[in-house]
Structure 1
Amino acid sequence: MKPVIVVHGGAWAIPDAFAEASVAGVKAAAQAGSEVLKRGGSALDTVEVAVRTMEDDPVFDAGHGAVLNADGEVELDAIIMEGKTLAAGAVSSVRNIANPVSLARAVMEKTDHIMLTGHGANLFAESIGVPILMPDALVTKEERKEWEHYKKYIVGVKELFNSQWGHDTVGAVALDSFGNVACATSTGGIRNKMVGRVGDSPIIGSGGYADNKSGAVSCTGHGESILKVTLARLILFHMDQGRTASEAAECSLQYMGERVQGGGGVIVVSPTGDWTATFTTERMAWAAMDGNLLYYGLNPKENIKETLN
C-alpha cells in the first residue's frame, strides 16, 4: 500500500495577509507527517504529528493560534481516530494545553472513555504529566486585538462565518503502508463563541471519522452545520455506495449547503489511497504528500504539484 497524508488548515475566507503563512504551514505539516510514513510509521502517529505541527503554528486556530471565546479565554477541542479497531479519543473545552490532539490520543489509550471535557479533561492532563501553560501562553497579540475589535458583534451569526468569525481548524487524514487509515482534527473554535460552546471538531462522525473499510475524513467549516449533517460519516456513507473520495466530498458539501446553508471543507482518503481536498468556502489551505509528490492549494480548483527528493 502506498502511504498518503492529506492535511487542511481550515476552510474560511482566509485573508491575503494570512495566505502565504497558511500554505507554508500546511505544507510543513504534510511533510512532517510524510516523514513518519516513510519510516514505516502508523497512520495514527502520522496524523498526530501533522496536527501537532499545525497546533504549534500560530497562524492556525489550534493550540498556539487559538481564537478567544466571549470571555476572552481559550477553549480547545480535538479528536483522533484510527480505522483498524475504530478506537478514538477526544477532548473539548480544554484550556492551557498546547497540543490537545495528543491529549485526545491519551484519552483513547489511557482511559476507558472516548471524550473528556472542560475541567475533567484538564485534570486528566495534569494526572498524566501534560505540561500546563499559563492562561495567556496560547494567545497571540494579533488575536487579542481581533477579539477586542469584534467582541461587539452578536455571537454565532452564520452569515458572518466566512468573514470575521471564520478561522482555521486544522486536520489530517492518512493511509499507512499497512492499509490502516486515521484522522485527527483540532480547533480553538469560532471567535467570540459562547463559553462552553463545542462545535463539530471533537465529535465522532462530524469533525472526523476513520474506518479501514471506508476511509478517513477530517472536516472544517461552520461547526453547527457540520454537526447537523454528521458530515464526516455522510461522506464515508457515499464512498461505501461506490463514489470516489472527490464525488463523496462534493455531494456531501453540496447537501450541507442546500439543507442547512452551511459552508465548509473536507479532506478525505480512501483505503486504496484515493484522496481529495474539497471546500465550498472562499478558501481552504491544504496539502498532501502522495509518494514523493507534494500537492497543495488555497483557492478553488487550485492544485499545485511539486516533486520532492
Structure 2
Amino acid sequence: MTRHALILHGGAGARPERDYDREVDNMRAVVEAMKIRLEAGASALDIAVEATVMLEDSGLYVAGRGASPNLAGAYELDASLMDGATRKAGAVAALQGFRNPVRAARAVMDRTPHVMLAGEGAALFAHDQGLELIGDEAAWFTHAGKGEDNHPPGTSPDVLAGALSHGTVGCCVLDSAGRLAAATSTAGVFGKMPGRVGDTPIPGAGSWADGHVAVSGTGQGEYFIRTVACAQVSWRVAAGATLDEATRAVIAEIGSMGGDGGLIALDRDGRIAHPFNSQGMKRAWLTTDGEIGVEVFDQARA
C-alpha cells in the first residue's frame, strides 16, 4: 500500500514585511485535518477538494471568501481540479455568486460531459446543482480592493500589464491507493479587467494530475498559460527528470519570460517540491512519514 502525502499552497504573493502567522496556523490546521481523512482512506480527489474548500472559506487568501474584485467591482472566481487516475478534469471560470468555486468545478467533472463552464453558464449550472450561494457580497468577501499586493479599482490595463499581482490556493494529494489529484482556486490577479481568465481554471496550466505527478500553480497566470506550466512538470518527469528538477526548470522558464510565481508538486512516490521565484510562497505539506511542515519564505516552520 502506498503511503499518503499532501502539499498545499496559499499563494506566491507573500511579502517579507508582512506577518503570516494566521496563514501559517490555518495551513497547518488544514493539513492536520486532511491527514486524519487520508488515514481513514479518503480518496486523493476528495481530499484535494476538501482542503481547497477550507482554504477558500478561511478568507485569508485570494480565493473564495478572500477574493478581490475586478476593475468593475465584481467578484469573478476560477477553479479547476484533475483526477490523476482517470485524467478527468473539471473547471469553472469567471463564476459569480457562489461560495466555493472548487465545488462547482467538481460538479462539472462529475455531472457533465464537459471540462469547463464559464460566466453565466457556470452560474446557472451551479445554481441547478444546489451549490451554496453567497448572499450579501459586502458581508462575505474579506477583500474589497485593499488586500495584499492589491491595485485599487480603476487601475488602468497598462499598469496591470506591468504588475500582475496575484494570489491563489491549491492542493496536491497522493492517497493510500496510489492515486494522485490536484485542485486550484483563485479570484485571479488584483484589479483584473472584467472577463479576464488566468491559468487556474485551465487544466495543464494551473493544475494537473496523472499517473506521474500532481501539480498546482500560483503566480502570474498569463505566463503559466504560455508555458503550460503544470502539465510541463509531468512531461519532464516522464522524460526522466526528478520532480525537483522538473519544477525548478518550469519556474526558471517562467522567470526568463518575465513572470513570477511558484509550483507545488507531488509525485507517485510521495516526493514533494515547492519552488518559487517570488519573494515568498505560503505552503504546507504532509510527508509519507507523517511529518507536517509549513513555510512562507525559506525558513521551515515544522
Q: TM-score, normalised by structure 1?
A: 0.91
Distance 1:73 1:96 in 2: 10
- Pick closer, same or farther for the CA change 1:92–1:15 going to 2, 3 Å: farther
Residue in structure 2 matched with residue 182 of structure 1 by the alignment? 181
Gaps of 5+ in 1: none
Secondary structure of residue in 1 paired with 2:163: helix
Residue in structure 1 matched with residue 247 of structure 2 by the alignment? 249
1:101 aligns with 2:102: yes
- Pick closer, same or farther for the CA change 1:241–1:152 going to 2, 3 Å: same
How far did residue 89 of structure 1 move? 0.5
1:157 aligns with 2:160: yes
Tell me the alpha carbon deviations over residues 26-79 of structure 1, each in whole angstroms, 9 at most, x when there is no partner: 222222222221111100011111100100011111110101100111000000
Distance 1:115 1:38 in 2: 32
1:275 aligns with 2:277: no
Conserved 8 A contact 1:51-1:101: yes
Q: Which has the higher strand share?
A: 1
Deviates more, 1:148-157 or 1:80-89: 148-157
Secondary structure of residue in 2 paired with 1:54: helix
How far did residue 25 of structure 1 move? 2.3
Distance 2:136 2:69 in 1: 12
Conserved 8 A contact 2:14-2:296: no
How far did residue 134 of structure 1 move? 2.2
Residue type of the alignment partner of 1:160: A
Conserved 8 A contact 2:81-2:183: yes
Tell me the alpha carbon deviations over residues 148-206 of structure 1, each in whole angstroms, 9 at most, x when there is no partner: 97224323635433xxx33x200000000111000000001111101010000010100
Structural RMSD (CA): 1.8
Tell me the alpha carbon deviations over residues 215-237 of structure 1, each in whole angstroms, 9 at most, x when there is no partner: 11000000001110000011111
Deviates more, 1:19-28 or 1:87-96: 19-28
Secondary structure of residue in 1 paired with 2:275: strand
Secondary structure of residue in 2 paired with 1:203: coil
1:304 aligns with 2:295: no
Residue type of the alignment partner of 1:115: M
Which aligned pairs between 1:113-262 and structure 2 lie closer than 5 A?
Answer: 113-134=114-135, 136=137, 137-140=139-142, 142-146=143-147, 150-155=152-157, 157-161=160-164, 165-166=165-166, 168-212=167-211, 214-258=212-256, 260-262=257-259
Secondary structure of residue in 2 paired with 1:10: coil
Distance 2:53 2:198 in 1: 20
Conserved 8 A contact 1:183-1:217: yes
Conserved 8 A contact 1:32-1:49: no
Deviates more, 1:22-31 or 1:285-294: 22-31
Deviates more, 1:128-137 or 1:115-124: 128-137
Conserved 8 A contact 1:18-1:59: no
Secondary structure of residue in 1 paired with 2:11: strand
Distance 1:27 1:139 in 2: 23
Residue in structure 2 matched with residue 14 of structure 1 by the alignment? 15
Residue in structure 2 matched with residue 24 of structure 1 by the alignment? 25
- Pick closer, same or farther for the CA change 1:274–1:102 going to 2, 3 Å: same
Distance 2:179 2:301 in 1: 27
How far did residue 262 of structure 1 move? 0.7
How far did residue 115 of structure 1 move? 0.5
Distance 2:70 2:116 in 1: 21
Residue type of the alignment partner of 2:12: A
Conserved 8 A contact 2:218-2:261: yes
Distance 2:231 2:221 in 1: 14
Distance 1:292 1:195 in 2: 43
Conserved 8 A contact 2:71-2:154: no
Gaps of 5+ in 2: none
Deviates more, 1:197-206 or 1:29-38: 29-38
